[in-house]
Each structure stands twice: as structure tokens, then as C-alpha cells.
Amino acid sequence: ELTASRVREELVDLLSESKPWRVVMRLDNLKALKTINPQLKSTPYVIKRLKNIQLSYEKLKNKFSPKPLRWIVNLIGLLYDLSQKDVEKWCNKMRMKKKFAEKIIQGTSELKDIVKSLRIRKIKNSQIFKILNGLFDESIIVIHALFPNVREKVEKYISELKYIKIYSSGQDLIDMGFKPSPVFKEVFDLLLQAKLNGLIKNKDDEISFIKQKYRST
């Protein structure tokens, strides 16, 4: 009898292939897909989804370090139509490691609400950054694959926004008269927002921005 761990290991191997839809169709033909989950089918919609995920994975994988896990994005594509409760139960049954289960649950159950926020027409760069910066890389690839109307924003985040950093340090704030406190984080968050939105460019701009915002400090 196949143990859950054995099924999981076999599935990880199979979904690490670059054409996962072939694997899924083969498993369905062998009636083996239902042993993974009774609700799973290789419908044309599921096959198209897996193909789109592969296109996005191949396009974006080298933009991340380390590379996102191919089997995770493919598994998200396979389980995407299940409810969050069913995905959680499935991860428990398969004895999936917590770090992998979290990626699978986020990718299958939380993306639709996240994408709603990204669909705002005149969204600021700082808002795009805030929405995408907290996500697993695998989730970002799935959003790119399944939601064409926010693809441009995802690409902007991956190629540009996620690399934007501020130059000012805690020592700079102390030199300006600030006392070490939670206000440091507030200042740095505001600086990053302003930089993402193109309001400041260099360290001199940052210092001027801080002085203007915190005149009475």
C-alpha cells in the first residue's frame, strides 16, 4: 500500500517536470489522479492553467534567488480549484513540511483577494510593493500566470520595485537629533514609499524629506 509520504515524494518528482500537464493527463487516464484527491480532474481548464504557469515560470524563474520551486507552482495549479479547508487537509494528509504547506495554501487560497487590490487602476508603486513584497515567490509566479490584467504590475515589481532601497541609516537619524525608538521604522517606511513613488532619488533627497516631515522633532 502506498503511504502518504510515498505519494508525496512521487508527486514532487512528477511535478518537477517542465510539462506537468502531460503528467496530470497520464495520471487521470490511469485513474491515479483521484488517489491524490477525489476532486481532481485533468479538464481542459486545468491543463491550460498548468501551461500558463509553466510559461510564467520559465519567463520569471531567473529573476528570483533562489529559484522558486517548480513542483510547488505546478501543484498550486493542480489544487487551485479546491477550497482552503480541502487544501489544508490535503497538506496534512500528505505530511507536507510546514514551509511547503504555507506556500501551497497561499498560492491556492489567498491570491484572488490579493489580485483585487492590484487591479486598482491608478495604483501607486508603493502599493504594488506592499501587496507583493510579503508573498512567496511561487505565489507571484502564479499571479503572473493566471491574472493577465495585473501582469504588467507584477513584472514591474519583479524587475524594478523590489530592488529599490533607501540610503539613510539609523545613525543618520541620530545625527539629525532623533532618539532611537520605534519612530525609526516609521521614518524608513515613509522614505521607502516616497522613493518607490519617485518623489525622492538620492540620499540628499532623503535627508531633506525627513527634515520636512519631522520639522518639530
Same-domain check for residues 205 and 109:
no
Q: Residue 1 pLDDT more than 60?
A: no
Same-domain check for residues 184 and 105:
no
pTM: 0.91
Is the distance from CB of 206 to CB of 168 less than 8 angstroms?
Answer: yes
- For residues 204 and 94, give the distance between their C-alpha atoms in angstroms, rounded to a whole number: 54
pLDDT tens per residue, range 125-182: 999 999 999 999 999 999 999 999 999 999 999 999 999 999 999 999 999 999 999 9
Same-domain check for residues 92 and 153:
yes
Of 162, 184, 204, which marks where a domain is finished?
162
Domain that holds residue 203: 170-213
Same-domain check for residues 204 and 151:
no
Residue partners of 190: CB distance under 8 A and separation at least 6: 209, 213
Same-domain check for residues 65 and 81:
yes
Q: Is 30 exposed, middle or buried (0-12, 13-18, 19+ CB in 10 A)?
A: exposed
- For residues 124 and 107, give the distance between their C-alpha atoms in angstroms, rounded to a whole number: 24
Of 162, 178, 194, which marks where a domain is finished?
162
Mean pLDDT, rounded, for 102-129: 95
Is the distance from CB of 177 to CB of 217 less than 8 angstroms?
Answer: yes
Alpha carbon of 173 to those of 12, 42, 79, 180, 217: distances in Å? Answer: 49, 58, 48, 8, 11
Same-domain check for residues 179 and 127:
no
Amino acid at 100: F
Specify the number of domains making up the chain: 2
**What CATH number corresponds to the domain at position 106?**
1.10.3090.10
Same-domain check for residues 155 and 199:
no
Same-domain check for residues 135 and 158:
yes
Same-domain check for residues 117 and 198:
no
pLDDT tens per residue, range 30-48: 888 888 888 988 899 999 9
Same-domain check for residues 99 and 198:
no
Same-domain check for residues 8 and 111:
yes
Nearest CA to 23 among 77, 60, 66, 99?
A: 77
Per the listing, cell 533562489 goes with 66
Of 162, 184, 199, which marks where a domain is finished?
162
Same-domain check for residues 46 and 102:
yes
